[in-house]
Amino acid sequence: MCGIAGLANWGSREVLARMTQVQAHRGPDDSGLWERRFPDDSYIGLASRRLAILDLSADGHMPMRNEDGTLWITYNGEIYNFAELRRELENSGHHFRSQTDTEVILHLYEREGAECVRRLNGMFAFCICDLRSGCPQLFLARDHFGVKPLYYIQRGNKLAFASEAKALLQLPEVDAEIDLAALHQYLTFLWVPEPKTMFQEIHKLPAGYCATFRDGELKLHQYWDLTFPDADSNFAEPESDPGNRRKIEELRERFRLSVQQQMVSDVPVGAFLSAGLDSSSIVAMMCRATNQTVRTYTITFPRKYRVGENTLDNPDVPARLARHLGCENQQIVVEPDVADLLPRLIWHMDEPVADPALITAFLVCREARKQSTVLLSGVGGDELFAGYRKHIAHHWSQAYRRLPATLRSVITSGIDALPGFRGTGLKGSARLAKKMARSASLEPRESFIRNCTYLDEEQKQNLYTDWLRDELGDSDPAASHHAAFEAVNHADFLNQMLYLDTKIFMAGLNLNYNDKMSMASSVEVRVPFLDRGLAEFAAWNIPPTLKLKGFLWPTTKHIFREAMRDVLPAEVLRQPKAGFAAPVDYWLAHDLRELVDDLLSETSIAKRNLFRPQQVRRFIEEHRRGVEDWSMQIWQFLTLEYWMRTFIDSSAHRTAETSGNFVEAATA
pLDDT digits (tens, 9 = 90+) for 8-53: 999 899 999 999 999 999 988 888 999 999 988 899 999 999 877 7
Give CA–CA dist 217/215, Å, rounded: 6
148 with 125: CB under 8 angstroms? Answer: yes
**Residue 86's domain spans which residues?**
2-222
Global pTM value: 0.93
275 lies in some domain = yes
Same domain for 205 and 249, yes or no, is: no
Give CA–CA dist 368/298, Å, rounded: 10
CA angle 542, 548, 554 (to 5 degrees): 155
Same domain for 187 and 278, yes or no, is: no
Strand arrangement, sheet containing 524-526: 328-333, 295-300, 269-272, 374-376, 524-526
For the residues 535-562, what does the mean pLDDT come to? 93
Cα atoms in the Cβ-side hemisphere of radius 13 Å centred on 341:
21
Same domain for 302 and 161, yes or no, is: no
Give CA–CA dist 639/190, Å, rounded: 10
353 lies in some domain = yes
Give CA–CA dist 231/565, Å, rounded: 28
For the residues 576-580, what does the mean pLDDT come to? 63
CA angle 577, 499, 26 (to 5 degrees): 75
Residue 662: the pLDDT is: 44
Q: Report the DSSP pairing between strands 158-162 and 2-8.
A: antiparallel
CA angle 108, 109, 113 (to 5 degrees): 130
Check pLDDT > 70 for residue 185.
Answer: yes
Last residue of a domain, one of 188, 222, 256: 222
Span 125-184, pLDDT tens digits: 999 999 998 889 999 999 999 999 999 999 999 999 999 999 999 999 999 999 999 999
Average pLDDT over all residues of the chain: 89
Phi, psi of 424, deg, nearest 5: -130, 165
400 lies in some domain = no
Phi, psi of 47, deg, nearest 5: -145, 160
Who contacts 270 (Cβ-Cβ below 8 Å, separation ≥6)? 294, 295, 296, 297, 368, 371, 372, 374, 375, 376
478 lies in some domain = no
Same domain for 358 and 257, yes or no, is: yes
Check pLDDT > 80 for residue 362.
Answer: yes
Who contacts 105 (Cβ-Cβ below 8 Å, separation ≥6)? 73, 75, 79, 82, 116, 120, 124, 126, 128
Give the range among 55-64, 490-499, 530-539, 654-663 with minimum mean pLDDT.
654-663
Largest interatomic CA distance in the chain: 76
Give CA–CA dist 138/8, Å, rounded: 9
359 with 635: CB under 8 angstroms? Answer: no
Quote the crossing angle between the two packed helices 338-349 and 511-520, to the nearest 10°: 110
Same domain for 153 and 255, yes or no, is: no
Q: DSSP assignment of 383-428, as one string?
A: HHHT-SHHHHHHHHHHHHTTS-HHHHHHHHHHHHT----TTSTTHH
540 with 228: CB under 8 angstroms? Answer: yes
Residue 666: the pLDDT is: 36
Same domain for 209 and 286, yes or no, is: no
Q: DSSP assignment of 378-391, as one string?
A: -TTHHHHHT-SHHH
Task: Classify 213 in phi/psi space as left (phi over 0), alpha (psi -120 to 50) or beta.
Answer: beta
Give CA–CA dist 30/49, Å, rounded: 6
Same domain for 28 and 155, yes or no, is: yes
Give the range among 387-391, 503-507, 535-539 with minimum mean pLDDT.
387-391
Burial class (CB in 10 A: 0-12, 13-18, 19+), 482: middle
56 with 139: CB under 8 angstroms? Answer: no
Q: Report the DSSP pairing between strands 71-79 and 158-162.
A: unpaired
Residue 475: the pLDDT is: 93
Q: DSSP assignment of 198-262, as one string?
A: SBTT-EEPPTTEEEEEETTEEEEEE--------TT-----STTSHHHHHHHHHHHHHHHHHHHHT
292 lies in some domain = yes
Q: What does the radius of gyration of the chain's CA atoms come to, in whole angstroms?
A: 25
332 lies in some domain = yes
Helix (H) or strand (E) holding 333: strand 328-333
Helix (H) or strand (E) holding 56: none
Write the DSSP symbol of residue 124.
E
Check pLDDT > 60 for residue 652.
Answer: no
DSSP bridge partners of 78: 123
Task: Give the sign of the dihedral formed by CA 622, CA 626, CA 628, CA 630.
Answer: positive
Check pLDDT > 50 for residue 658.
Answer: no
584 lies in some domain = no
Same domain for 283 and 350, yes or no, is: yes
Same domain for 200 and 330, yes or no, is: no
DSSP bridge partners of 151: 162, 204
Same domain for 81 and 138, yes or no, is: yes
Same domain for 289 and 218, yes or no, is: no
Q: How far is CA 71 from CA 106, 111, 120, 132, 423, in A?
A: 7, 12, 18, 7, 60
Q: Would you place residue 667 in the very low, low, confident or very high pLDDT band (cuts 50, 70, 90)?
A: very low
Same domain for 209 and 328, yes or no, is: no
**CATH number, domain with residue 314:** 3.40.50.620
Span 477-502, pLDDT tens digits: 999 999 999 999 999 999 999 999 99
Span 221-238, pLDDT tens digits: 999 999 999 999 877 555
Last residue of a domain, one of 159, 191, 222: 222
Q: Would you place residue 583 in the very low, low, confident or very high pLDDT band (cuts 50, 70, 90)?
A: confident
Who contacts 600 (Cβ-Cβ below 8 Å, separation ≥6)? 616, 617, 620, 634, 637, 638, 641
Task: Classify 656 in phi/psi space as left (phi over 0), alpha (psi -120 to 50) or beta.
Answer: alpha
527 lies in some domain = yes
Of the candidates 617, 619, 610, the residue with the CA atom closest to the CA atom of residue 640: 610
Check pLDDT > 60 for residue 312.
Answer: no
Span 83-104, pLDDT tens digits: 999 999 999 999 998 889 999 9
**CATH number, domain with residue 190:** 3.60.20.10
Split into its structural domains, the chain has a count of 2
Last residue of a domain, one of 171, 191, 222: 222
Which range, 125-129, 312-316, 429-433, has the best average confidence (pLDDT)? 125-129
Q: How many residues does the chain have?
A: 668
